[in-house]
Amino acid sequence: MTMFNQRTYRRNIFSRPEVGWNLFLAILTLWAVYRIPADIVMGPGSGIEYDALDFLLVIAYFIDPIVTYRMTSVRGVHAKGVFLRYLLPFDIVAAIAVLPFFHSNEISLFGLVKLVHVTVFITMWRHQLLRRGSVMRLILFLYWLAILIHLTASGWLFIRVEPTGVSMQQEYLKAVYWSVTTLTTIGYGDIVPHSDLEMKYAIGVMLIGFLMMGYLIGNIAGLLNKPDPLRAQYANALEEVSAFVQYHRLPGILKHRIIDYFGYMWQQRAAFTDASILNTLPAGIRTEISLHLKRDVIHRVPFFREADDQFIREIANEMKPIVVTPGEFVFHTGDPAHSMYFISRGDLEVIDERGNLIGALTDGDFFGEMALLEKRRRMGSVRALDYCEVYELHAGAFASI
């Protein structure tokens, strides 16, 4: 097996720079979504801030394919092919549609195709946000709600007969008010449709608002009532432990040690995630994870430092994680040597056969190798002072490697 090559690995998720860039585009898209309908119904806006944002929007979408390609490593595809494949027709239309001379006419509505770009990014990005899924759904809901309110308000202005003597800014504010009240309720009756077209439009907006409020209420209820999956799993594990302790009538001290152990594993988020996740991954990815977690402790062993990558990989695959509770012995004096150990986290003490302290072990240390190599019994005992996370390398695996 060859070592993992970062350059040739195609990522199916977004890196932080990619997320930042696409969020920047999503914010700029809000400007396009506001500007295009507003210019159609209220006339083109002017000013240095308008020109600056328009220029920034056009430049950002024109360089987006280049920026995205530079931040994404793609295996086995020619750069030109990636560039051309990325420039889909709707991206070209969107880039042209935001040019200043298209504002204030219906052709500029092609600029709203930019929402497709944002939608694709958000859909893919949400798969990465597992732990904050409900919160992100609400944030994205507010993003789309702001767009929907503006679009429905602009549509209402477009079909409505404007009263004389009222500025377009006031008319737009009233349209936003009508849009919010119609989307969230059935309106208050102070702004009512008059023509058949206005009534049909109002009916459509009310139906959209009905569906939207159902989605919002469902998400809020889910956010309030849905517990943390890991916390729920921990609670279920404690219930099973309590039933086990009661059934077997275990002593109180042992019961508290068991519960304390589960509490520690919950704090570390280890017992409820690592094994289940690792078992679902392909062997190659599991190997890379093992190397990442164990490489430093392996390299601290003098006779492993000069080993090649293949040997280190095999050692990492054979090292099994164990947790040693406070006061628990890893082994006693006189025990046969079956394993050597690597400390990932925690403090242990070495005790001779008389109970005297002769040494201390901490993060990154290893022990038990001499008795294993010399095939003799243990010359001392090792006891944990607190919760310790240790990797065990069994003698059989060591000999086979």
Distances (CA, A) of 72 to 17, 19, 195, 222: 10, 12, 53, 35
- One-letter-per-residue 3-state SS of 47-97: CHHHHHHHHHHHHHHHHHHHHHHHHCCCCCCCHHHHHHHHCCHHHHHHHHH
Give DSSP secondary structure letters for 273-334.
THHHHHHHS-HHHHHHHHHHHHHHHHHTSGGGTT--HHHHHHHHHH-EEEEE-TT-EEE-TT
The edge-to-edge listing of strands for the beta sheet with 329-331 is 329-331, 381-384, 348-351, 357-361
- What is residue 9's predicted lDDT score, i.e. its pLDDT? 33
- What is residue 222's predicted lDDT score, i.e. its pLDDT? 64
Cβ–Cβ contacts within 10 Å for residue 393, how many?
Answer: 24
Q: From CA 66, how far away is CA 91, in angstroms rounded? A: 13
- What is residue 378's predicted lDDT score, i.e. its pLDDT? 92
What is the pTM (predicted TM-score) of this model? 0.49
Q: From CA 16, how far away is CA 14, in angstroms rounded? A: 7
- What is residue 80's predicted lDDT score, i.e. its pLDDT? 45
Distances (CA, A) of 210 to 44, 186, 190, 199: 33, 9, 20, 16
Q: What is the pLDDT of residues 273-323, one digit of tens each?
A: 566 677 777 888 878 888 887 887 887 777 777 777 788 888 888 888 888
Residue ranges of the chain with per-residue pLDDT less than 50: 1-12, 73-90, 97, 101-102, 130, 271-272
- What is residue 12's predicted lDDT score, i.e. its pLDDT? 42
